[in-house]
Homo-oligomer: A and B are copies of this chain.
Amino acid sequence: MVTNSQAPIKVGMLGMGTVGRGVYKILTGNADLITARAGRPVQIEKIVVRDTTKSRGVTVPDGVLTADAAAVLENPDIDIVVELMGGNEPAKEYILKALKAGKQVVTANKDLIAGYGKELFDAEKEHDTDLMFEASVAGGIPIIRPLKMCLAGNKVTDVMGIINGTTNYILTKMTRFGSDFNDVLKEAQALGYAESDPTADVEGHDAARKIAILASIAFNTRVTSRDVYVEGITRIDATDIKYATELGYIVKLLGIAKERDGEVEVRVHPVFIPGSHPLAAVSDANNAIFVAGDAVGETMFYGPGAGEMPTASAVVGDIMEVARNITGGVNGRISCTCFEEKPIKPIGLVESKYYLRLMVKDRPGVLASIASVLGNHNVSIDTVLQKRSDGDIAEVVLIIHRVEEQNLRDALTIMEGMSITKRVANVIRVEGEDA
């Protein structure tokens, strides 16, 4: 006899793109395993798509695909709504509708969680439901649950992640082959590692959403994508990478979130990190998130940060957890953890170590002038390399000791106005080592 606690959990999916197809494959392909581990079967009842006739690479039984969102949102048989449409609307409207109807929700939508977390989690709390989003950050890598649960005893101080596969792929190739950004971008687009409009990836906006989510959880305060200072990788060129290598660093695009003295820093930008740092070895399209806590010390979570099956793996993990909660009658047990309001530190007040590359006139006294301007702004020099000169213009590379960003910016503004300066070729922060 099928008792109630063995009855299938019924899933309604919104959207069936790449990740949706992956979820379908796992739930059907590993059905026995999932039933055993979740304690009861998990069954896809309805899938809402725009075009029900389109071929999707998997065989979906008749009657499952529908163009009518109400077939999921207003269907009393559906226990869990899995939102995989992406973007803001109508995804947000649908999720809110589902929560209000008392349905559990699983989503991979980083835009929504990073941009509208408060609204969504308020609804989750009000209706005592689950809203899970492990797949919204770093694809298949378990990171949300480890942060919320396993590391819960820690005051987390740092979360730093390679959380955009496209830019990591590009930087890896640039480092390995000495190639230029634009050439590698074209190659990445041809191979499907970068989109035809690569802006969200290469300008850092995708990473910004993810670090906003991680910062909110790590520091128990609401951080939205609008709070994140963002620089992309389009200004990194082969010369910078060559110098990084020479100085023992690797160039990575990192999402960085730190809490110091009750203030939160959240930013996405390229960095030099020491070759010995655990993040330095994370290559190609892989992701990794480095977490430092006062008790645990330094940990790292590594894996595929995107893609059909890895992202679907995270979605299915959430579905199974929600299914167990339904069986136990304990949905809504862990909801939003943003119980504090911590100030976000403006980028000008953030302290970093820096790499500077300057093109200057090659004449006596130039280095002294540069050093003097920096010194006047309390900017102190760690390392100087002066290597290339065409007789007229020399390239000077400086590593600058830890300093408040505004000081350096002021110094650079003055330098840019000086007759000896041809241009400030690049300014890149150094992370992952002591002052």
Shortest C-beta distance, A56 to chain B (Å), equals 18
A142 — which chain B residues lie within 8 A by C-beta? 142, 146, 149-151, 299
A220 at the binding interface (Cβ < 8 Å): yes
Assuming the contacts A140-B296, A324-B333, asked whether A317 and B278 have C-beta atoms less than 8 A apart, the reply is no
Shortest C-beta distance, A37 to chain B (Å), equals 5
A163 at the binding interface (Cβ < 8 Å): no
A329 and chain B: residue at smallest CB distance: B330
Shortest C-beta distance, A370 to chain B (Å), equals 37
A309 and chain B: residue at smallest CB distance: B295
A29 — which chain B residues lie within 8 A by C-beta? 294
Which of A295, A297, A340 has most chain B Cβ within 10 Å?
A295
Instruction: Find out whether the CB atom of B303 lies under 8 angstroms from the CB atom of A300.
Output: yes
Select A297's contact among B26, B146, B304, beta carbons within 8 Å.
Answer: B304
A330 — which chain B residues lie within 8 A by C-beta? 328-330, 333
Shortest C-beta distance, A331 to chain B (Å), equals 10
A30 — which chain B residues lie within 8 A by C-beta? 153-155, 294-295
- Please provide the 5 A-B residue pairs with the shortest distance between their CB atoms, ordered closest to farther: A153-B316, A142-B150, A299-B303, A142-B146, A140-B296
Add 7 more A-B contacts to A151-B313, A295-B309 (CB < 8 A).
A145-B150, A146-B146, A149-B317, A152-B321, A153-B316, A281-B281, A299-B302
- Chain A residues in contact with chain B, CB under 8 A? 22, 25-27, 29-30, 33-34, 36-38, 134, 140-142, 145-146, 149-155, 220, 278, 281, 293-304, 307, 309-310, 312-314, 316-317, 319-321, 324, 328-330, 333-334, 337, 339-340
